[in-house]
């Protein structure tokens, strides 16, 4: 009987994150009525943008999707499948699905980023930072290209959820040495906090206006 190794789990989660973040790019393009090329660009930068920045910061050359073009094929297939389905959705349903897909991608890629940094021997605080960067980077690029305020810069509980999940993942990894358990724990924390923030409209406090 075949058994999943830690590397297998990482690959599965990475593909999951690629699909859901590519889907979020498709949904934004659908909402803005972009053409096929614009849709593919948004899906691609959302899916691989954060990981690309992470690899550049960590000094990984070449970046992951240049080494393994499976990521690009997954993005392309996701777009092909999602385009006709997205056409059937109303604007309200697109917005609802976008936020949930973004939350799942955020949780998944945060865990991926933390794990990659730990594998490269980065300190815990750097690993958490790389998790946040991987989680929010693609969404920031997507929102900037779509001329929208990135969620990470708003009052949304967004990067804060990544930090919490990243800290839990590092702690579980240090205590157990079990990569799949650590990643799933971190993902769950990030996802639950983000979904709870969406459901109950949690927001961070802001600075008051200057006189």
**pLDDT tens for each residue of the chain, 211 residues long:** 456 787 888 889 999 999 999 999 999 999 999 999 999 999 999 999 999 999 999 999 999 999 999 999 999 999 999 989 888 888 888 889 989 999 999 999 999 999 999 999 999 999 999 999 999 999 999 999 999 988 888 778 999 999 999 999 999 999 999 999 999 999 999 999 999 999 998 888 876 665 5
Whole-model pTM: value is 0.92
Residue 204's pLDDT is 83
CB burial of 98-136 (b: ≥16 within 10 Å; e: otherwise) equals bbebbbbbbbbbbbbbbbbbbeeebebebbbbbbbbbbb
Residue 211's pLDDT is 58
* Gap between the Cα atoms of 109 and 129, Å rounded: 12
CB-CB contact of 17 with 108 (8 Å): yes
* Gap between the Cα atoms of 178 and 181, Å rounded: 5
Closest to 111 in 3D by CA, of 67, 50, 155 = 50
Backbone Cα Rg of the chain = 17
- One-character DSSP codes across 61-102: SS-HHHH-THHHHHHHHHHHHHHHHHHTS-HHHHHHHHHHHH
């Amino acid at each position: 009987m075949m058994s999943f190794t830690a590397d297998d789990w990482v690959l599965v989660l990475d593909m999951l994150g690629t699909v859901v973040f590519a889907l979020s790019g498709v949904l934004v393009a659908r909402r803005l009525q972009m053409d096929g090329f614009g849709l593919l660009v948004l899906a691609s930068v959302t899916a691989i943008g954060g990981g690309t920045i992470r690899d550049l910061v960590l000094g990984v050359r070449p970046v992951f999707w240049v080494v393994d073009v499976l990521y690009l094929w997954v993005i392309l297939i996701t777009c092909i499948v999602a385009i006709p389905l997205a056409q059937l959705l109303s604007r309200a349903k697109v917005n609802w699905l976008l936020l949930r897909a973004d939350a799942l991608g955020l949780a998944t890629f945060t865990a991926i980023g933390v794990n990659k940094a730990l594998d490269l021997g980065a300190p815990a605080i750097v690993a958490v930072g790389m998790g946040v960067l991987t989680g929010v980077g693609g969404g920031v690029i997507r929102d900037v290209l779509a001329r929208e305020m990135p969620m990470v810069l708003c009052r949304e509980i967004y990067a804060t959820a990544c930090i919490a999940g990243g800290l839990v993942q590092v702690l579980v990894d240090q205590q157990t040495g079990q990569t799949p358990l650590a990643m799933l724990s971190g993902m769950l924390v990030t996802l639950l906090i983000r979904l709870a923030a969406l459901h109950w409209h949690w927001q961070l406090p802001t600075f008051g206006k200057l006189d």
